[in-house]
Structure 1
Amino acid sequence: MHLFAKLSASLSRAPSRLLAGVVLAACLLPGVVAAATAGPPVPAPVAEGDGYRYYTIGDLAMATPDPVEPGLMLVGGGEWPHEAVRWMIERAGHGHIVVLRASGAAEAQDEFYSEIGGVASAQTFVFSDRKAASDPAVLATLEAADGIFIAGGDQANYVRYWKGTPLNDVLDRHVQDGKPLGGTSAGLAILGAWSYGAMDGGSITSEVALRDPLGPGMTLVGDFLHLPLLRDVITDSHFAKRDRLGRLVAFVARLRSEGVADVAGLGIDESAALCIDGDGISRLYPGVQDGFAWLVQPTQPPGRVEPGQPLELDAVRVIGIGAGSRLRLPGLEVQAPAFEKIATASQGKLVLREATPAARAATR
């Protein structure tokens, strides 16, 4: 009883972000006090709820030190570029970060708090069931977050657990309220207006996607997150390393054949991050592998998108966004591109060539 009296007194003085954290830590996991004093060397959840595990580090009661500003951090996967993460931390006012994932444990929150630093606290929810996306304590924690980061894993779980839920609404509202949101790998894959959901349990290759852009593995998802700056975009990760240009071309061609006229593809290389401020101006952090962002814009209607048939598509503009480039969203205007190429899809193959001045003019 003494514990609950102390918790009640703390809640009466604490900011709203403490509500979920304190309740989770004290009420949802039997034996949490004992675990805190004699826990295992491997970090254990502070609490467990119906369909999730919860971790935390830092000072949940600390006031957010600086103003919070809007921003999107799109990480291609692999090793994060710390400069980009520091950019997001600054946008979050050096305050309170919440990490969402459906596998793993507290790795990302520990990287935010301990390895990179500069945040008041970091919390993690690891989801295992859709019902957790309606849990009041989870939603209260997300509502109070200064910044939210979606980790890697399997984006099909994010679609199944979050799409159409109260948590989905909270994520949209978080961005509308001018707070930063980031994602890496699978977390990046769901940030666009359309996503490759990997709903068949696989990860479609460029070869398969080009061979049949209407095939069963092309599980594209819409009406999930609604981020205004990415309203015309489908994102992809691990881009050059996993040879995903062909599949992103096929994603865009498929969507355009279904009437989504202005959609473009945005692929991010592994270890790179594209950071977008509230005015829609993007800066690329190339990371340890000197990566790029890749903007994919077909300039002509698909010549053929038919069941069981390879994609036929001419004059796809492929623009590289490097450290010295600037991408403006949502208009998809690129200043100082790192490279410009023209892609053609035919007979299940993608041919990429340098964009000559004449070719660039023809695709504008």
Structure 2
Amino acid sequence: MKTLLRLLLAALVLFAPPAASARPEPAYSYYEIGDLAAKRSGATAPALMLVGGGDWDYTAFRWFAERAGHGHIVVLRASGEGQAGEEIYNQVGGVASVRTIVFHSRAASTDPRVLAILAKADGIFLAGGDQANYVRYWKGTPVARALDAHVRAGRPIGGTSAGLAILGGTGYGAMDGGSIDSPAALADPGGPAVTLVTGFLHMPRLAHVVTDTHFARRDRLGRLIAFVAKARLHDPRAVGLGVDEGAALCVEADGKAKLHTPPGGHAWLVQPAAPARIRVGRPLDWNGVKITGIGPEGALDLNTLRVTRPAFTGVAEVSGGKLIGAPGPK
């Protein structure tokens, strides 16, 4: 009897179907809303929408939709799902469709379907999240080249929070595993935690600009000054541009920019007068850092960096890693 049982068990093992292999995780997730076959109702126009994070200003997003010819928007991100696309389509309105691609790995950046979607986009919006993932997944890939090609073709691009952080010619990549604050950045701007990224994207009039986000709420003026100090080691013309939460700096094709914001919001232009001396492991000392605030009543010309009707202006200095005399809204 025991022998018979052993033979039956052996036969079951021999003829059992092979175990199903684990399916690999998809390289990206995809969401869509609207009519993908609808014709664009207007012409596209070159434009940049620089959003500081937090709640959206729908007036700015409707400006963006108009520059996209009220056509087809593509949202790129590396976390979350399709909610931003639904908000653009349902709450902002004025677009034919919104597609969202959520990247899970660098492999998606060579996917033919992803690249085909980007090639047909009338406007591209880079959502918030962790910009380190954008650097890991997109830098040096066909997706980065597709974003540059989209802009060269005269179509608008925008970004919020992490999506704005990577639009500058030099960007804070957050590759240190966190989001450095102002005291830490000023204490050692040349150190390994200030992870700046260059040669990623090539946006018009942002080649010498370091961007930053969630600006006043997270007290990021000090860290942007530190970023600019380090950026000037390879780019003597580097300046900083911070945008407050809820605010959106909308840049037209001619480089003229207007701020859309709830009350109290600003964009912040950081223009040092001289190169910084940086030593690894040492705090920053730097004089003559001009700070200019741009409010909704003013304007910024990115061609000349001239601000008309500034909300505030002044000159700050950094001594021993401490920010002194920084101007701000009253």
TM-score by length of 2: 0.90
Match of 2:242 in 1: 267
Distance 1:114 1:84 in 2: 15
User: 1:334, CA displacement in angstroms?
Assistant: 1.2
| The one of 223, 242, 248 aligned to 2:224 | 248
> Could you tell me whether the CA contact under 8 Å between 1:49 and 1:132 is conserved in 2?
no
| The one of 237, 255, 263 aligned to 2:213 | 237
User: 1:299, CA displacement in angstroms?
Assistant: 0.4
Q: Secondary structure at the match of 1:319?
A: strand
Q: Secondary structure at the match of 1:306?
A: coil
Structure 1 residue 141 and structure 2 residue 114: aligned? no
Distance 1:147 1:259 in 2: 32
Match of 1:78 in 2: 54
Structure 1 residue 305 and structure 2 residue 278: aligned? yes
Match of 1:334 in 2: 307
| The one of 261, 284, 290 aligned to 1:317 | 290
Q: Secondary structure at the match of 2:325?
A: strand
Structure 1 segments (4+ residues) deviating >2 Å: 352-355
Deviations 1:214-255 (A, max 9, x none): 112100000000012211101000000000000000010111
Q: Which structure has more helix as a fraction of its residues?
A: 1
> Could you tell me whether the CA contact under 8 Å between 2:182 and 2:219 is conserved in 1?
yes
- Residues 228 and 58 of structure 1: CA distance in aligned 2, closer, same or farther (over 3 Å): same
Distance 1:107 1:311 in 2: 41
Match of 1:279 in 2: 254
Structure 1 residue 211 and structure 2 residue 187: aligned? yes
Amino acid paired to 1:267: G
Amino acid paired to 1:320: G
Q: Secondary structure at the match of 1:88?
A: helix
Distance 2:123 2:325 in 1: 38
Distance 1:57 1:86 in 2: 17
> Could you tell me whether the CA contact under 8 Å between 2:56 and 2:247 is conserved in 1?
yes
Amino acid paired to 1:125: I
Distance 1:230 1:71 in 2: 12
User: 1:330, CA displacement in angstroms?
Assistant: 3.1
> Could you tell me whether the CA contact under 8 Å between 2:188 and 2:282 is conserved in 1?
yes
Amino acid paired to 1:309: R
> Could you tell me whether the CA contact under 8 Å between 1:50 and 1:131 is conserved in 2?
no
Counterparts of 1:31-50 in structure 2, within 5 Å, are 50=26
Q: Secondary structure at the match of 1:283?
A: strand
Match of 2:82 in 1: 106
Distance 2:26 2:243 in 1: 34
Moved more, 49-58 or 168-177: 49-58
Match of 1:343 in 2: 316
Structure 1 residue 51 and structure 2 residue 27: aligned? yes
Deviations 1:286-321 (A, max 9, x none): 13x53100000100222x310111000001000001
Match of 1:296 in 2: 270
Q: Secondary structure at the match of 2:81?
A: coil
Distance 1:96 1:347 in 2: 50
> Could you tell me whether the CA contact under 8 Å between 1:192 and 1:234 is conserved in 2?
yes
Amino acid paired to 2:294: I
> Could you tell me whether the CA contact under 8 Å between 2:291 and 2:326 is conserved in 1?
no
| The one of 39, 44, 69 aligned to 1:93 | 69
Larger radius of gyration: 2
Amino acid paired to 2:94: G
Amino acid paired to 2:126: I
Distance 1:89 1:301 in 2: 40
User: 1:259, CA displacement in angstroms?
Assistant: 3.3
User: 1:150, CA displacement in angstroms?
Assistant: 0.3
User: 1:343, CA displacement in angstroms?
Assistant: 1.0
Distance 1:49 1:115 in 2: 32
TM-score by length of 1: 0.82
Deviations 1:91-144 (A, max 9, x none): 001100000000000111001101111110000000000010111110000000
Gaps of at least 5 residues in structure 2 are 1-23
User: 1:352, CA displacement in angstroms?
Assistant: 2.2
User: 1:340, CA displacement in angstroms?
Assistant: 0.2
User: 1:270, CA displacement in angstroms?
Assistant: 0.4
| The one of 117, 124, 133 aligned to 1:157 | 133
- Residues 49 and 140 of structure 1: CA distance in aligned 2, closer, same or farther (over 3 Å): farther
User: 1:50, CA displacement in angstroms?
Assistant: 4.0
Amino acid paired to 1:295: L
